[in-house]
Every structure is written in C-alpha cells, then in structure tokens.
Amino acid sequence: MSWLGPFHNQRFISLETFRKSGAGVATPVGFVEQGGALIVRTIAGSGKVKRVRANPRVRIAPSSGRGDITGAWVEATATVLSQAESDSTRGAIVAKYGLIWRAIELAQALRSRLGGRPPVVWVAIRIMPSA
C-alpha cells in the first residue's frame, strides 16, 4: 500500500472532514495502520463522526499532535467501523502508543466513574481511487 508511505512512521495525522457548507474542519488524531487503512478512535457523538457519516470524503496529512501539517494532503474516504470490525484495533493502538494510550484509557475510566464515559467509535480511512 504505497499511499501509506508518508504516514508509516508518523504518530499523528490531521484529519479534515467537511461540513454541509463544504468548509473543512481539521483535527489532529492518533492512528494505527491496519488492513491497508488508517484507523482512528474518537467519541461517537463528535462533530467529525457526524460529518463523516454525512459525507465520507476526507483529507489527511501527516501532522504533529498539535495539528501542524508536516506533509502533503491526501484525498481519502472515511467509514465508521462496526463493533465487530473494531475489536482487533485496540491492541494495535496500545502497541503503538504504549503508556500514553494506557494513560488516556485510565483518564477515560475515571471520567466514566464520575459522570459517564461517552461511547467511542473507530473510523477507517482509505485513499480515494484516482479518477
């Protein structure tokens, strides 16, 4: 999967989703490569998930964790994965991010005890075929 090359050693990508107006909204996200796709985890009710469900067209670029773009933008499509499709992804993301990811999960577990943990989903991003 040559299109994954620019993302292979990256820790973050900027994921740009599109509003109904066509305006792009970019968000830095952690990801893992799996099955020829980049997989990201996010809160189910987030704006980016709502936008992906309405319009699967996205753009991605290598970035810093703060969203500073470090490479070229690539046109892609995004799909919210079913629970069955996303079961194997947690292990891959823990392997990539290690203690940082475990700290995120711990913080989410604490939040869950205090006021409810929002449901999360996994989103698969694949390059768009050339026209």
Closest CA to 54 of 25, 34, 27: 25
User: Which pLDDT score, from 0 to 100, does residue 86 have?
Assistant: 65
Prediction pTM value:
0.79
Average pLDDT over residues 99-124: 75
Range of the domain at 88: 2-127
- CA–CA dist 3, 77 (Å, integer): 13
Question: Which residue's entry shows tokens 């703060």?
Answer: 66
pLDDT of residue 36: 86
Helix (H) or strand (E) holding 14: strand 12-18
Closest CA to 30 of 111, 125, 128, 127: 125
CA distances from 25 to 12, 14, 55, 67 (A): 16, 10, 13, 11
Pull the structure tokens for residue 52: 């992906």
For residue range 45-103, list pLDDT tens digits in order: 899 999 999 999 999 999 999 999 999 999 999 999 987 776 667 667 777 777 777 78
Structural domains in the chain (count):
1
Which CATH number do you get for residue 22?
A: 2.30.110.10
